[in-house]
Structure 1
């Protein structure tokens, strides 16, 4: 039964990270620039937004790149912390 101890730790860590992420998202809605009213996140230079009469296209290229870099750094830091 000791073989599932790692799974329990991963689930607990995942839950803690989800709670922390939820708290950050709640706080981000109250910060200027990140809220619903004209925030800058998702409207960065390099994000494509094309609007025509019956067509709208949005591709968040720069936003996706920034999110990818942040998540990669987080994954790298966590892999170093939990390395055995």
Structure 2
């Protein structure tokens, strides 16, 4: 398998993971949302943690492939 083949496989996996995460954005328990009058404050704590873990795993796998 050439270097380009591995890169395309990793890019495909990244897109699949992003697609799965995108469907859960804003719905994870632990995301904070406050509404007061016309103002809404949203802070995605759990979404940020999950995204961080997933990205760390992806970069770890990329590092192992190289």
- The answer to whether the superposition gives a TM-score over 0.5 is yes
* Structure 1 partner of 2:61: 77
TM-score by length of 2: 0.67
The runs of at least 4 aligned residues of structure 1 exceeding 3 Å deviation read none
**Structure 1: runs of 5+ lacking an equivalent:** 1-8, 29-33, 35-39
Deviation at 1:54, TM superposition (A): 1.8
Looking at secondary structure, tell me which structure has more strand per residue.
Answer: 2
Aligned residues: CA RMSD? 2.5
Q: How many residues align?
A: 56
Structure 2 unaligned residues grouped into runs of 5+: none
Higher RCO structure (Cα 8 Å, ≥6 apart): 2
Counterpart secondary structure, 2:28: coil
Larger Rg: 1
Deviations along 1:28-62, one digit per CA (max 9) or x if unpaired, are 5xxxxx2xxxxx43221110000111210000000
Distance in 1 between residues matched to 2:59 and 2:26, nearest whole Å: 22
The yes-or-no answer on 1:55 pairing with 2:46 is no
